[in-house]
Structures are given as C-alpha cells and as structure tokens.
A and B are shown apart, each in its own frame.
Chain A
Amino acid sequence: MRAAVIVFPGSNCDRDLAVAFEQAGFQVDMVWHKDAALPEGIDIVGVPGGFSYGDYLRCGAIAAQSPICQAVVDHTKRGGYAVGVCNGFQILTETGILPGALLRNAGLKYICKTVGLKVETSDSAFTQGYNAGDVIGIPIAHHDGNYFADDAILSTLRDQDRIAFTYTENPNGSAGDIAGILSENRRVLGMMPHPERAADEGHGGTDGTALFRALSGALAPA
C-alpha cells in the first residue's frame, strides 16, 4: 500500500502524517506542491496540517491552486482515497473536494489542546476501526476550525451519514459541532483534529492509531 503526503511551503505536520502512515504499514512518498502529478500507484493522498503559504488570503486558498492540488482533485474524481487534516481539511474545502468552509474560531483564539471527539459513523475506511458513539481524545491545534456550511449542505451531510466526528464540547463554534466530514463516496475525509498526533505512546495518546490501521486494512490488496 502506498500513501502520498503532500508538502507545501509552511506544512508542519507532513512528517508526523508520514510516520503514522508508515506505522500502519504504508510506504510513503513525500510529494512537493509544485509537482503536477502524483506518483504512480498511490492508494491514498494525505494533505497535512500546517500553515501553507502562511495562511495568506484564506487558510488553504493558495495551496488549493497549486499544481499538485489539481492532481489531487483528479485523483479523488477517479474515486481515489484522500485524507486532509487541519490545514489539509481547509485545503480540501478550498478545492471543492469537500463542501463547506472553515472560518475563524468563534472565540478568536488559536486553540491547542486535546479534545473529545465522538465517532458519528463507523461506515468508512477511515472510521471502521471505531464504533459509532465511541468518544476518543485527539489534539486540535488551529485558529480557523469553525466549520461552516449552509443548512442544505448540513442536512445533506446528516442524511447521508457523512459526519465522521463531532466535538463533545464544541471548542470553535463549528456548525453542528462538526469536527470531520466525508465525501459523498466516503473515500475522502477532512478533519480539523490531528489523529497523527495521537498515534504513538510518546504522543501521550494513541486514539488516532485505529484510523490509520483501519485504512491499512481497507486498502490492503486482497
């Protein structure tokens, strides 16, 4: 199984994400944002957290226009898997791969702490290692994680069981306490919390490990 982790100027969780993939059995290629194509044979693309392009204009807006992002859009249109964490989630919404947008936190403060997440669905390659209703502890570290979507999109997400995670105590004002969502084909996950920062004993928590292990199980060749 092969994962590609995209590296933008200002990415700072790219290596953490690569380690989490590797520990779950993936071979990882780091892919520079100026590349116009993904390596052949990639099973999943990871769009990491950080502050791509200094968060100028809007978080993720400039990264979303980089050459590699067109390749990521094409990959997801072909039914390829992708996960975007934190800035990666912001980038996936800016590309239009996932609906909605991430606004400034309602309290205006950057928040860095471990929060409770409720697993809303186990019906995806990302969340099948959990049971719906499980509460897990995963760190957040963001200034713009306040998920916004209009009522029509929110009800579609609910009706199609596409809300992956919600906050047990909403830290940032997100609509519907939403922390992470799935694409319509359930193969793209965007989430503000950092599962790759809870994937090793040294992190102080391993509740994110099940996400990477589940992916590894789902994408392993039969």
Chain B
Amino acid sequence: MKARVHVMLKTGVLDPQGEAVRHALGAMGFNQVEGVRQGKVIDLELADGATEADVTDMCEKLLANTVIERYEIELV
C-alpha cells in the first residue's frame, strides 16, 4: 500500500515562500493569480497491514507540526 500525505500551512499562517512565488508570477505577467500557498507532498511506501490510522499517527507525531500545519492523507 502507498499513502500520499499533503502538508500545508494552516490558513492564517503567513507563507512567505508562497508570497514570493505569487510576486514572481505577477512579475511574469500572470495577473490572474491572487494567492499562492506552498506545501509538501510526502509519499510513503507501507508494509501490508498498515492502516490509515498508522499514517495519521505519523502525521501527528512527525510529518506535520499541527501548531502551524494541516495534513491530508490519500491512500493509493
């Protein structure tokens, strides 16, 4: 089984990297971009028997810092 974890800064937490990308896109003429948020994608290769609850545990303990980030788990 594989799992894909998306980690994004929570709404309201400043994302200066996303802002820099937004500025760059604007400077290139992409005036239709109103906001950019940058995050991480983490792919996990899991042994048989692993569950979504295991991945949630990993996210809570290491993969995301829930003070500033939210995460979504996609099982593939």
Q: Which residue numbers of A lie inside 8 Å of B, CB to CB?
A: 57-58, 61-62, 65, 93-94, 99-101, 103-108, 146, 148-149, 173
Contact = CB atoms under 8 A, between A and B. Distances in A.
Nearest to A100: B67
A105 B16 contact: yes
B61 A103 contact: no
Given A104-B16, A148-B68, 11 more contacts: A57-B62, A61-B62, A101-B68, A103-B14, A103-B16, A108-B16, A108-B17, A108-B20, A146-B16, A148-B67, A173-B14
Contacts of B62: 57, 61-62, 65
B14 A106 contact: yes
Contacts of A149: 67
Which of B20, B61, B62, B63 has most chain A Cβ within 10 Å? B62
Contacts of A93: 67
B63 A103 contact: no
Interface string B2-28: 000000010001101100100000000
Interface in B34-65: 61-63, 65
Given A103-B13, A105-B16, A107-B16, A65 B61 contact: yes
Contacts of A94: 65
Contact of B68 (A57, A62, A103, A105): A103
Contact of B67 (A62, A101, A105, A146): A101
Given A101-B65, A103-B68, A148 B17 contact: no
Interface residues of B, number: 12
Instruction: State the main secondary structure of chain A at its contact with B.
Output: loop
A157 B40 CA distance: 30
- The 4 lowest CB-CB distance pairs between A and B, nearest first, are A101-B67, A101-B68, A108-B16, A106-B16
Contacts of B20: 108
A57 B67 contact: no
Interface hub of A94, A100, A103, A149 (most chain B Cβ within 10 A): A103
B16 to A, nearest CB: 5
Q: Which of B61, B63, B65 has the most CB of A within 10 A?
A: B65
Contacts of B9: 103
A109 B36 CA distance: 19
A94 B67 CA distance: 9
